[in-house]
Homo-oligomer: A and B are copies of this chain.
Amino acid sequence: MTQVPNRSYRLRELAAELGLNHRGDDSARISGVGTLSRAGPNDASFLANPAYRDELEHTRAAVVVMTAKAAESYAGNALISANPYADWARLIEHLSPPPPHQPGIHASAVVADTAGIAESASIGPQASIGAGARIGERVRIGPGCVIDDEVVIGDDSLVVARVYIGGRARLGQRVIVHPGVVIGADGFGLAMDRGQWRKVPQVGSVRIGDDCEIGANTTIDRGAIDDTVLDDDVRIDNQVQIAHNVTIGAHTAIAGCVGIAGSTRIGRYCMIAGASGIGGHLDICDSVIITAMSTVLDSIDQPGEYGSGIPARPHGRWKRLLVRLGQLDDWARRLKRIEQLNKNNGSAKP
């Protein structure tokens, strides 16, 4: 259904390449992928979220990646997986590998004499690479990117297009940076000086570990003095703002539109849901989950789930609730008065 180009497999071949057990017609032909509801007869599909279980009944998919347990009640072709979503990812990688990489520097790119570009790297149209920058093996720098002076980008990284990286940032290996990202701009450092703001020069840098992914239009500021740091395998969605001197532990994932203020430390294996805001100078321990649109203003030293997002209600009910909130002070007094009265009445009784 979805056009995923250029490879076709028999089910038995695909199962072998992925190292998965399969069930059903092992000569079934698979050349694309689709959701359960839209897959065509040559598409693979998957079932990871039980909410979509009913769609199994009507799917036309050539094969479905699913758990052994789910397969018990499914009559069609199946690839059996202990982790269907992860194996689904591997399956797509097989069916739809990225286009082959063409090393070389596009004629329209501007590369400083002192920049070091690996032979196997590619620099796209209209890109510019600053003095002393180092671009690793098989790195792809896409069209319109600006890689500023002394930036280092590790092997096999992909900088898609129209990205800015400056502040002498160092990126690890296999990092993916999506369009519009800004890494290494100045942090927001200001000193009030006789009625005027004075800019505090930002001289720290940014360090990004291996296997990180940075979503479109996200910003990661350079440190004020020390560095801003993302450890390995940190995954960041679109339009996230990471201020100077934030540090983020390995394997933490941050959804879209989150803002993290300066000098805050986030632990490992945290998950921060969309549009949350995290204050500055906080310490968030490992394995913390922040629910959507929450405001984190205190450090957290216990793993677990935290939040303060309020689900929307019909306008009339919400307006009334706001009125109630305004009355709480009054209620506190009334509650106390009643209790006092009851106590007096009680004690007044014979």
Asked if B233 and A196 make an inter-chain contact with CB atoms under 8 angstroms apart, the answer reads yes
A142 on the B face (CB < 8 A): yes
A198's contact among B51, B89, B315, B341, by CB below 8 Å, is which? Answer: B89
Asked if B199 and A89 make an inter-chain contact with CB atoms under 8 angstroms apart, the answer reads yes
The listed residue with most B CB atoms (<10 A of its CB), out of A276, A315, A320, A329, is A315
Asked if A297 and B314 make an inter-chain contact with CB atoms under 8 angstroms apart, the answer reads no
Contacts of A255 in B (CB 8 A): 188, 261
A86 on the B face (CB < 8 A): yes
Contacts of A338 in B (CB 8 A): 335, 338-339, 342
CB distance from A62 to the nearest CB of B (A): 14
A77 on the B face (CB < 8 A): no
A66 on the B face (CB < 8 A): no
A 200-217 to B, binary, CB cutoff 8 A, 1 in contact else 0: 110110000001010111
A8 on the B face (CB < 8 A): no
Nearest residue, chain B, Cβ from A298:
B311
Q: A188-B215, A217-B239 are in contact. List 20 more A-B contacts (CB 8 A).
A: A128-B143, A142-B146, A178-B182, A188-B237, A188-B256, A238-B241, A241-B257, A257-B257, A277-B292, A289-B315, A291-B315, A292-B297, A297-B312, A304-B315, A306-B314, A307-B312, A307-B315, A321-B328, A324-B332, A331-B332
| A-B complex: 3 closest residue pairs judged by Cβ atoms | A305-B315, A164-B179, A86-B191
